[in-house]
Chains A and B, each alone.
Chain A
Amino acid sequence: MGKKVLVVDDEKDIVETIKFVLEAQGYECLCAYDGEAGLKKAKDKMPDLILLDVMMPNINGFKISRLLKFDAKYKNIPIIMLTARSQKEDKIIGEETGADIYMTKPFEIEELVSNVKKLCPLED
């Protein structure tokens, strides 16, 4: 069974490169370019993993993560958070709001693939 990964980031280029890499690995990729759309897609499509950017206009990654993790229906979807900020507070908040893994940009492709495979292996 194919695994669906939802990528939410307001930077289209980042989304495109992640999509390219993950599809090459064999994942199916869904995309969203803002928080609202991302949240909606997560609820509609029930992906197997969500890659979530923190700094987005309107609704940021922390909020989305909190909303999903505190909802029984979605709390089991693993979340990897991406951010360019490296302040300690962000890491703590990230962990508190339920992100499973927290990655800082810029990241290496290998690191991304390895984290994705860890939380959402292709074969169960």
Chain B
Amino acid sequence: MADIILFTKSDDLKALFEEILPSERNSLLLTSDAEECMKKLYSQNIDGIILDYEAEENLSALARKIRVAGKKKQPFLLLYAPVDYENELLFRYIDGFLPKNSAKSQTTALLHSALRLNRSLNELTKNNTELAKNIYQLDVLYNTSSGFASTLNKKKLIDLMIQSVQRSISPTFMSVYVKETNTLFLSSNRKPTFRLEEALKLRAMLNFKVVYQDEEINIETLKIEKNYKEEYSEMDLQLFNYDNIFSLITLSDKNYGYIEVFKEADFSQEDLTCLQSILKQVSSPLENAILYQEIKDTNTKLERLERLKSDFISIVSHELRTPLTPIKNSLDIILKGLAGDVSDAAKKFVDMAKRNADRLSDIINDLLDLSKVEAGKMEFKFEKQSVIPVLEYVKNTFEPTAKRKNIDLSLEIKNDIPELYIDSKRLEQVVSNLVSNAIKFTPENGKIQVSCENVSCKDLLNVDFYEQTLNENYENYVKISVKDSGIGIKKEDIPKIFDKFQQIENSLSREVGGTGLGLPIAKQLTQAHQGVIWLESEPDKGANFQVAIPIMDEFQIFKTDLDRTLCNSKQFKKNLSLILLKEKETENIKSAIQNEKLSIVKNGENSNGVFLNDDNTSIYLSFIQDADEHAADFIIKKIQSFVKLNVPENEQNDIIYSKVTYPKDGLTYATLSENLEKGLKCIKE
């Protein structure tokens, strides 16, 4: 089917073409008036125009007008003229030539081929336009996805989504509902009228009800945020006559809201696909943004909790100890006779009061120790040292007490005991606890053996440690045992023995007193030494409490300390500390440090490291997140001692150690490098 204009005055020509183009399949429009021809061109979809060379004086002018007027579809322009016809200007505008006096069959063929060509061309143009549009939409999607990936802010993500939808499918009106904030975002060129807003609110409520069947939105508190360009041009209820697409904004486990777009002209299939792609793209970033918010909130809560813990310990410590002072002092005053004579009866009871005040004091101290250790607030002072003096000190301290019950207290060192990495005061506390318990629960004339032995990790593998785990990274342990010949403990009571306030129900424990916290404290302190504590016992066969502390090499000590310091330093204000290390050492240091805590990187690989070249000395800088000055100093010392033992002496002097504290308001990468270079120069001078 073709619509063709035949521009001619000749009836013969008319007849010719009526024959060539049968009327059932084509429509042939005849005219000899230029204006009428143009009008037809504008009002109808014309496939082609045949110009008769004789039809008019200024054919080229008409031809030019036709060319310029071409809209989406260009009609073909053919000239019917004799073979030797000359008109250069006209020839510029025409697509083909129908020679006069050629055979009818030839003319027909020419005409049909022109039609086919024209159709193909128009098809091609249409496809190109589609393609261009698709490419544009893809481009929008691409930019959108990078935009989405760059932010964790929910509001920004929604804004970006609205913008991309606007750019890619150009809706006349857009409404986005966000469930979390119960807000309806309206975006359009024209300003929505008040009643359109109310209608859209109602529509939101209904949409929501249809989609999320068991939930409702509160239309009273539904907020509207609108964004429009033209203040004085309004959009009213006619919006609901427009073509629209409705789509949900879903996250993996819940619904975030919906989006509805309206367009006066129809949306195409590509528009729908594009919209769906955008929504799919925004889903993950939105979820991440929500999670990020949750994490930030949780972190804030955790920080507050940490501070409360510290404050609690301080406050309780003060509040509980304060009244104890005048209690004890008053009782002392009375006992010493400073407040007058004291009868024997009075003395007995004042003594009792004093004993219990001391007991209370012990409980408070134990409770506070336990709280501190559990809260990670206890300060340790670790050093590589021999454990034997500790054991000797404890034995000597308890000897008098043991003697009073005629208990034989002995100390045996079974084999070669290397130095351990311990806090001697705290280890002393552990052993004292065990010995003191042993004395309490061993009847007169009994025996207590304290011994110390170097054992291998394998020897300990078949021991039941209940909730503790033996760290098998350490090959050897030093085992300290406190074995008594006392009343023993029932098998079923053994698991509870290290729990707080679990004094075993028996007559003896009532008499001996104690706080019930000694063993839990011993357990915490042992664990702080990376060790384990356990018990072997049978009723009436005594008890054998054992503590195993690992023997660590330099490497392991370094690792343990680093872990501990970095964990502790998180409680302090957040700063970044930088440490300069020399190239060769980084391989060793690298393997000594766990990945997530410290990273040593080359220039550019990630923003946490900088690589400087100065006089052929390569220097790696490593950043420690959330560390403070104390951590930096500590780590430098540790690295220094490690290097001293492991690096050949002649190379040791090449190493520069320094620390720089990164200010809280941050520096850009460029400024940072600048500052570091300055710092480096100062060190060398």
| Residues of A bordering B, CB below 8 Å | 11, 13-14, 16-18, 20-21, 24, 55, 83-88, 104-109
Report A-chain residues with C-beta under 8 Å of the C-beta of B320: 84
Query: Chain B's nearest CB lies how many Å from the CB of A103?
Result: 10
One of B314, B328, B332, B379 near A85 (C-beta < 8 A): B314
CB distance from A4 to the nearest CB of B (A): 20
The answer to the question of B318 belonging to the interface, with a C-beta cut-off of 8 Å to chain A, is yes
Say what secondary structure dominates the interface of chain B: helix
In contact, B379 and A88 (Cβ under 8 angstroms) = yes
Please, which residues of chain A bring their CB within 8 A of the CB of B368? 86
Binary interface encoding of chain B residues 304-329 relative to chain A, with 1 for a CB under 8 A from any of its CBs, else 0: 00000000001001111111111111
Let me know if A105 and B333 touch, CB within 8 A.
Answer: no
Q: A11-B326, A21-B333, A84-B321 are in contact. List 19 more A-B contacts (CB 8 A).
A: A11-B322, A13-B326, A14-B329, A16-B326, A17-B326, A17-B329, A21-B329, A21-B338, A84-B318, A85-B314, A86-B368, A88-B379, A105-B321, A105-B322, A105-B325, A106-B324, A106-B327, A109-B333, A109-B336
Question: What mask results when residues 222 to 249 of chain B are scored 1 for a CB within 8 Å of chain A, else 0?
Answer: 0000000000000000000000000000
The CA-CA distance from A11 to B322 in the complex, in Å, is 8
Chain B residues near A105: list those with CB within 8 A: 321-322, 324-325
Complex formed: what's the CA distance from A73 to B170 in Å? 84
Q: Is A108 in contact with B325, judged by CB distance below 8 angstroms? A: no
Q: How far is the CB of A9 from chain B (nearest CB, A)?
A: 9
Known interface pairs A14-B325, A17-B326, A106-B325; A84-B333 also in contact (CB < 8 Å): no
- Asked if residues B317 and A106 are in contact (CB atoms below 8 Å), the reply is no
- B58 is an interface residue with CB less than 8 A from chain A: no
What residue in chain B is nearest A20 (Cβ atoms)? B333
A105 to chain B, nearest CB (A): 4
- A14, A17, A85, A104: the one within 8 Å of B333 (CB): A17
24 residue pairs of the A-B complex, CB under 8 angstroms, read A13-B323, A14-B322, A17-B325, A18-B329, A20-B339, A21-B333, A21-B338, A24-B338, A55-B318, A84-B317, A84-B319, A84-B320, A84-B321, A84-B322, A85-B317, A85-B318, A87-B317, A105-B324, A106-B324, A106-B328, A107-B325, A108-B332, A109-B329, A109-B333
User: B135-177: which have CB < 8 Å to A?
Assistant: none
Q: Is B386 an interface position by the 8 A CB rule?
A: no
Indicate if the CB atoms of B318 and A14 lie closer than 8 Å.
no
Distance between Cα atoms of A106 and B328 in the complex (Å): 8
Which chain A residues lie closer than 8 Å to B323 at the CB level? 13
Set of chain B residues within 8 Å of A24, measured between Cβ atoms: 338
CB pair A106 B338 closer than 8 Å = no
Nearest Cβ in chain B — how far from A102, in angstroms?
Answer: 15
Closest to A88 in B: B379
Determine the distance from Cα of A41 to Cα of B170 in the docked complex, in whole angstroms.
82
CA distance A55 to B319 in the complex (A): 10
Nearest 9 interchain pairs by C-beta: A13-B326, A84-B321, A17-B329, A106-B325, A84-B318, A106-B324, A105-B325, A109-B332, A105-B321
- A108 CA to B339 CA in the complex, in Å? 17
CA distance A105 to B361 in the complex (A): 10
Cβ of B330 under 8 Å from chain A: yes
Within 8 A of A (CB), among B542-594: none
Q: With CB as the reference atom, state the residue of chain B lying closest to A17.
A: B329
